[in-house]
């Protein structure tokens, strides 16, 4: 027998469990089960897959021609409604697939029920998601190319402009502005190759794998694969419906790219500061302060720097979703999309913002040159000269150079400002020729090894990349 106290406890428990769900467990199940709130983004891909499937069912004689035509026309109507913003998405219908199919039935009636012949929601969602991710990889390809071209323009303009190169954010050796820009061309070029590799690897079609074991209907999977731009059908039906490597690989490539964007954004934040003044960012990608009128804040760069956290997080989240799943499909895999959608949105936004900043920014040549000669940046050139001209072991040359740096530091000057006698105090063999290597212009011009900072080498790399991007 249940007493009033038990009834009250049960009521309280239900209220705590149900919370905002006034209709009880059914409403809770609908809320946790539905994905239409986010997977409606795949509407175009879902309809493309259905159109290809219907055409194949007609070509193989599984469906009558009049049914295929009705399905084709009905799907085009559904797509136009979605694109116009007139489509009544329903959480009760769970996902984009059921929403489209239900609306198709309202439009064309009985033939709509034949569309699902020879397929399952398992292969359908895998196909939709692959098509969507493939579109994002193509968009990333375009975005990376635009950024690389903007960097090439900057590099070409300043191929011989000297600036400090850093290690540990300490002045190390002089380099050129063009060389520094080309370092990011190489980084984003690797990102571009990863995007293209991922696209090539993922380009097999899950459609026709059905729930997990294939189908007894005489379907033509090669026909649907070709119609959707895939290279071939996926070769194993179990793997086809359970594979999300393509999404993980996209997130991996996106994470590395976002990390590169963040590194560059950090440099732009530093370079645009009053202490450096290496670059001036345009007003289009900066903001003012609400209280300090002199401020020009590099907000776009700072936000790009922060975006990497969201993209890294998406990669980790999907890895956690997939790590414990047996073959084949589990409902856990419904959690595969939101983080991918978010990562793709933020990566494309960051790429566009960085391309805009690079296109608009002005490198301050005078500030770069002034900083290039500071911090004893040509000390390594002095050590190299001692080895090359006097034949000293490098360790001895390193020690001699260090003593001259200490002397210059004590005098409050740079190495080129020391007298010849002061130079000779460290080693009698030093001659006046040493001063030829101590200027920053001479330093960068001497770095002629392949991939070095000499302007001739920088221009050669720019030409190589222009040819690659043609």
Convert 345-374 to b/e letters by CB count within 10 Å (16 or more is b).
ebbbebbebbbbbbbebebbeebbbebbbe
168 is catalytic: yes
CB 254 within 8 A of CB 344: yes
- Closest residue by Cα to residue 300 from 263, 258, 353, 347: 353
Look-up: residue for tokens 């879902």?
46
Rounded to 10 degrees, what is the CA torsion of 388, 394, 400, 406? 110
CB 35 within 8 A of CB 334: yes
CB 390 within 8 A of CB 401: no
- Closest residue by Cα to residue 188 from 161, 155, 222, 148: 148
CA angle 198, 201, 202 (to 5 degrees): 85
CB 201 within 8 A of CB 249: yes
Q: And the tokens for 198?
A: 């991922």
- Closest residue by Cα to residue 131 from 71, 202, 74: 202
User: DSSP letters of 330-399?
Assistant: -GGGGGGSHHHHHHHHHHHHHHHHHHHHHHH-EE-HHHHHHHHTSTTTTHHHHHHHHHHHH---HHHHHH
Distance CA 102, CA 86 (A): 15
Residues with Cβ within 8 Å of 345's Cβ and at least 6 positions away in sequence, in order, are: none
DSSP helix/strand/coil, 205: strand
Of these residues, 90, 273, 289, 374, which one is catalytic? 289
180 is catalytic: no
Cα-flanking dihedrals φ and ψ of residue 94, to 5°? 75, -60
Distance CA 53, CA 60 (A): 11
Of these residues, 5, 22, 168, 216, which one is catalytic? 168
Look-up: residue for tokens 């002089």?
174
Q: Which residues are marked as active site? A: 168, 289
């Amino acid at each position: 027998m249940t007493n009033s106290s038990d009834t009250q406890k049960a009521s309280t428990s239900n209220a705590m469990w149900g919370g905002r769900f006034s209709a009880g467990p059914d409403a809770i199940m609908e809320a946790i089960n539905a994905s239409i709130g986010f997977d409606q983004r795949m509407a175009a891909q879902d309809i493309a897959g259905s159109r290809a499937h219907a055409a194949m069912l007609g070509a193989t004689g599984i469906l009558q021609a009049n049914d295929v035509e009705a399905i084709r026309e009905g799907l085009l109507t559904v797509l136009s409604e979605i694109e116009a913003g007139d489509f009544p998405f329903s959480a009760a219908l769970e996902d984009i697939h059921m929403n489209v199919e239900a609306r198709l039935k309202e439009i064309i009636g009985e033939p709509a029920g034949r569309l699902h012949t020879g397929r399952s929601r398992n292969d359908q969602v895998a196909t939709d998601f692959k098509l969507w991710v493939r579109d994002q990889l193509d968009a990333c390809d375009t975005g990376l190319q635009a950024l690389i071209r903007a960097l090439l323009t900057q590099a070409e303009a300043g191929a011989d402009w000297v600036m400090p190169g850093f290690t540990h954010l300490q002045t190390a050796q002089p380099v050129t502005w063009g060389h520094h820009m080309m370092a990011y061309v190489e980084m984003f070029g690797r990102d571009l190759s990863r995007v293209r590799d991922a696209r090539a690897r993922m380009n097999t079609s899950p459609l026709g794998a059905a729930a997990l074991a294939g189908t007894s209907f005489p379907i033509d999977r090669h026909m649907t694969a070709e119609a959707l731009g895939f290279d071939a059908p996926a070769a194993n039906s179990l793997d086809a419906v359970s594979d999300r490597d393509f999404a993980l690989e996209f997130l991996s490539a996106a994470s590395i790219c976002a990390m590169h964007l963040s590194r560059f954004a950090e440099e732009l934040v530093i370079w645009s500061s009053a202490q450096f003044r290496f670059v001036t960012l345009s007003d289009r990608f900066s903001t003012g302060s609400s209280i300090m009128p002199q401020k020009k804040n590099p907000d776009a760069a700072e936000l790009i720097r922060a975006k990497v956290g969201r993209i890294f997080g998406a990669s980790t989240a999907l890895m956690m979703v997939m790590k414990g799943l047996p073959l084949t499909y589990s409902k856990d895999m419904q959690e595969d999309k939101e983080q991918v959608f978010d990562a793709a949105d933020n990566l494309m936004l960051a790429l566009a913002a960085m391309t805009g900043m690079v296109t608009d920014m002005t490198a301050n040549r005078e500030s770069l040159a002034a900083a290039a000669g500071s911090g004893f940046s040509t000390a390594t050139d002095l050590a190299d000269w001692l080895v090359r001209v006097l034949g000293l072991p490098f360790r001895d040359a390193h020690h001699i150079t260090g003593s001259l740096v200490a002397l210059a530091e004590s005098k409050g000057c740079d190495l080129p400002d020391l007298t010849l006698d002061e130079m000779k105090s460290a080693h009698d063999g030093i001659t006046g020729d040493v001063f030829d290597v101590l200027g920053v212009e001479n330093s960068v011009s001497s770095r002629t090894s392949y991939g070095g900072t000499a302007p001739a080498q920088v221009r050669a790399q720019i030409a190589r990349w222009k040819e690659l991007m043609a």
